[in-house]
Structure 1
Amino acid sequence: MQQLYPAQIAEWASQQDQRPVLLDVREAWEVETASAKTEALDFVHMPMQSIPARLDELDKTRPIACLCHHGGRSMQVASFLMQHGFEVVNVAGGIHAWSAQVDPSVPTY
């Protein structure tokens, strides 16, 4: 599975044929605390445990970048999605790295 640091996401998105999705798999309170938004990707929030039941809501024609707090949960979700035919990358370091590399206004927790 491809691992991309947050600083690489915009460039990766620009190379895709379809507009990518930034899939945030953290809990709702985490997204309320700190959220990554970018013009290059469409933001979708689905907590990790909801993914199997909501799989049909994701479009297999669009690439997905999975994001969580530090990268562990998103890696598990990315692996699950790949097994179901999705094109997925994992955002290494998660929202914590996003704050450090892309947008320092994003709070760390």
Structure 2
Amino acid sequence: MDEESVSVTEIPDGAAIIDVREDDEWEAGHIEGALHVPLGELPTRLDDLPLDDDMYVICRTGGRSHRAVAWLTNNGFDAYNVAGGMGSWNLDHGKPIVSENGEEPWVK
């Protein structure tokens, strides 16, 4: 099954966004309301995922989310890769991000 990519502008309002970046990247800046599941933890955290919803998977540039989406779709989930990742979300499209540490959020 071919993995489907969507642009940042195609993500529906209120959609389930899964951020598969590492902890330090998440803390520096992430999408408010996104679910943080680092790529290496994905197989052990399936219970945390919204099973009945389409999931939009994001990382820094699209590589890790591509692998996550391939794994998720092979395991029966409806998942889409966010093309360009957080760089596209924040830097290209100016969509807001928040940080966990009270500092100015940025894409690490």
TM-score band by shorter chain is 0.7 to 0.9
Task: In structure 2, list runs of 5 or more residues that go unmatched.
Answer: 98-104
User: What TM-score do you get using the length of structure 1 for normalisation?
Assistant: 0.79
User: What TM-score do you get using the length of structure 2 for normalisation?
Assistant: 0.80
> Partner of 2:26 in structure 1?
31
Question: Number of paired residues?
Answer: 98
Structure with more of its chain in helix, by fraction: 1
* 1:94 CA displacement: 0.4
One-letter amino acid matched to 2:5: Q
SS of match in other structure, 1:23: strand
Q: What is the rounded CA distance, in whole Å, between the counterparts of 1:48 and 1:72 in structure 2?
A: 11
- The RMSD of aligned alpha carbons is 1.8
1:107 aligns with 2:106: yes
Change (3 A) 1:22 1:104: closer
Give every structure 1 segment of 4 or more consecutive aligned residues whose post-TM-superposition deviation is greater than 3 Å.
none
Task: In structure 1, list runs of 5 or more residues that go unmatched.
Answer: none
CA contact (8 A) 2:73 2:79 kept: yes
CA contact (8 A) 1:34 1:95 kept: no
> Partner of 2:68 in structure 1?
77
SS of match in other structure, 2:45: helix
* 1:73 CA displacement: 0.1
